[in-house]
Amino acid sequence: MNIGIVIVAAGRGERAGSPQDGPKQYRPIGGRPVIAHTLETFLAWHRSGPIVVVIHPDDEDLYASAIAGLPRAGDVMVTFGGDTRQRSVHEGLRALAGSGATHVMIHDAARPFIDLALLDRIAAMLDTGHDGVLPAIPVVDTLKRGGADGLVHETVSRTALYAAQTPQSFTFNEIRAAHDKAAALRRDDFTDDASIAEWAGLPVMLVEGSTDNIKLTVGRDIDMANERLSKRQQRDLLPDVRTGNGYDVHQLVAGDGVTLCGVFIPHDQKLSGHSDADVALHALTDALLATCGAGDIGDHFPPSDMQWKGAPSRIFLEHAARIVREHGGTIMNADVSLIAEAPKVGPHREMMRRNLSDFLGIDMERCSVKATTNETIGFVGRREGIAAIATATVVYRED
Ligand code: CTP
Ligand code: MG
């Protein structure tokens, strides 16, 4: 199967107003002409065969500057359209004849938000042997038929009514023959290709369209498209960096050692509490959860739940890291400050960093452990407990 593409761009855009701004398909949205967005998607689609763009004879310069810089735009064929959309499509089909296309997708240049997923859905229908495929979305508004008198004459049931989109897609020979026949019979009142197919007796299969795939028709559509893309670009410029902090304290009681950042350090005291009472990992777990609003360690591992008694706290940290990743996050850095009078952390610091790097699956360079005493004052100073403060930085990707 070889899917040729016809993009019609020969209209004058009368409903979009402001003739001094030129035809709508060349007006900028998000800094680039409408048609550049449309064409770029087809150029990026792995199943696109030969591509023809149908332009108005007056627009050669506009077209040339619109596609400047688009990769592979040089492979795109260009032909002139006619004074109706139907004629422009017909010209496009003629230009595609002999190119080897067995199928064709016919698309409006004025629909720049066409996406690859919709193209795949349509192609899948062609793959199963359908001669005609129409992307469409069910009508959601209540429909009224109005009269010249300005009154509502009737309410039309919207059951089984769809709004047609493009690209409308067909076996090449069938749609070419239908267009030839319509032209020969001087039937030039078709507003889309599915209606020509229907008229010619070609079955057309509905496929779910995309609500994003709107046709820019009036000036407001172009303004809205521009705002939408500009917002998206601004977002892309600013990475979604989030920082979370966490704090934890555990009491020291008589014992034989403490576990900090997963390292057991022999000592004449131990930390009491939930799990192995690794304050450092608990604080860091909270810091990570905070970057995606996922609550705190107590929400995920209630202290009342006996199964966590004596558990190694790496379980909690690894769980938080998994949640972060499921939200689309990449952990950039983890930093822990331990506040303890004793034991000395310094000799264990590198091992602690190595553990963090291991538990989080990030480079050691991105893991930091620091320690300070509390200058003998307060509960930490009196060796009644150990506290930890942690910070995590995570970059989230747009979804
Ligand atoms: N089109 C075309 N040749 C025409 C008329 C329309 O190639 N003679 C193309 C348009 O460029 C557009 C698509 O068909 O990409 C859909 O048409 P429409 O939205 O109606 O665009 P215009 O005809 O340009 O706008 P208007 O009807 O408001 O003048
Ligand atoms: Mg038109």
Question: From ligand 1's centre to the CA of 131, what distance in Å?
Answer: 25
CB of 10 sitting under 6 A from ligand 1: yes
**Neighbour count for residue 381 (Cβ, 10 Å):** 13
Find the helix packing angle between 279-290 and 349-360, rounded to 10°: 40
For residue 11, the ligand 1 atom closest to its alpha carbon is 24
- Tell me what the mean pLDDT of segment 323-332 comes to: 96
**238: its two tokens:** 């600013």
CB of 34 sitting under 6 A from ligand 1: no
Asked if pLDDT for residue 274 goes beyond 80, the answer is no
Please report the pLDDT score of residue 399 as a whole number.
Answer: 62
CB of 22 sitting under 6 A from ligand 1: no
CB of 209 sitting under 6 A from ligand 1: no
- Report the alpha-carbon distance of residue 216 to residue 212 in Å, rounded: 11
- Best substitution site from 24, 39, 58, 85 to test ligand 1's pocket, by max atoms within 8 Å of Cβ? 85
Question: From ligand 2's centre to the CA of 264, what distance in Å?
Answer: 75
Q: Report how far apart the first and last C-alpha atoms of the chain are (Å, whole number).
A: 33
CB of 195 sitting under 6 A from ligand 1: no
- Tell me what the mean pLDDT of segment 32-55 comes to: 97
For ligand 1, atom 28, which residue shows the shortest CA distance?
A: 15
- Report the alpha-carbon distance of residue 49 to residue 100 in Å, rounded: 9
For residue 111, the ligand 1 atom closest to its alpha carbon is 15
Asked if pLDDT for residue 357 goes beyond 80, the answer is yes
pLDDT tens digits, one per residue of 221-262: 999 999 999 988 887 788 899 999 999 999 999 999 999 999
Query: Scanning the structure block, which residue is given the tokens 């950042």?
Result: 261
pLDDT tens digits, one per residue of 47-78: 999 999 999 999 999 999 999 989 899 899 99
Please report the pLDDT score of residue 236 as a whole number.
Answer: 78
CB of 84 sitting under 6 A from ligand 1: yes
Query: pLDDT grade, residue 273 (50/70/90)?
Result: confident
Question: From ligand 2's centre to the CA of 191, what distance in Å?
Answer: 8
CB of 53 sitting under 6 A from ligand 1: no
pLDDT tens digits, one per residue of 103-135: 999 999 999 999 999 999 999 999 999 999 999
Q: Where are the alpha helices (DSSP H) in the chain?
A: 34-44, 60-67, 85-96, 116-127, 172-184, 193-199, 219-237, 279-290, 297-300, 314-326, 349-360, 378-381
Residues contacting residue 231 through CB under 8 Å, at least 6 positions apart: none
CB of 83 sitting under 6 A from ligand 1: yes
Whether pTM exceeds 0.95: no
CB of 217 sitting under 6 A from ligand 1: yes
- Tell me what the mean pLDDT of segment 286-292 comes to: 98
Residues around the ion ligand 2 (C-beta < 5 A): 11
Question: From ligand 2's centre to the CA of 153, what distance in Å?
Answer: 27
CB of 127 sitting under 6 A from ligand 1: no
Opening angle at CA 144, ends 140 and 149, nearest 5: 155
* Residue closest to 172 by CA, chosen among 52, 295, 298, 17: 52
Please report the pLDDT score of residue 99 as a whole number.
Answer: 96
CB of 385 sitting under 6 A from ligand 1: no
DSSP 142: P
Percentage of residues in the chain having pLDDT higher than 70: 100
- Which ligand approaches the C-alpha of residue 11 most closely? 1
CB of 55 sitting under 6 A from ligand 1: no
The residues facing 272 across adjacent strands are 251
- For residues 93 and 176, is the Cβ–Cβ distance under 8 A? yes
For ligand 1, atom 7, which residue shows the shortest CA distance?
A: 10
**378: its two tokens:** 């307060």
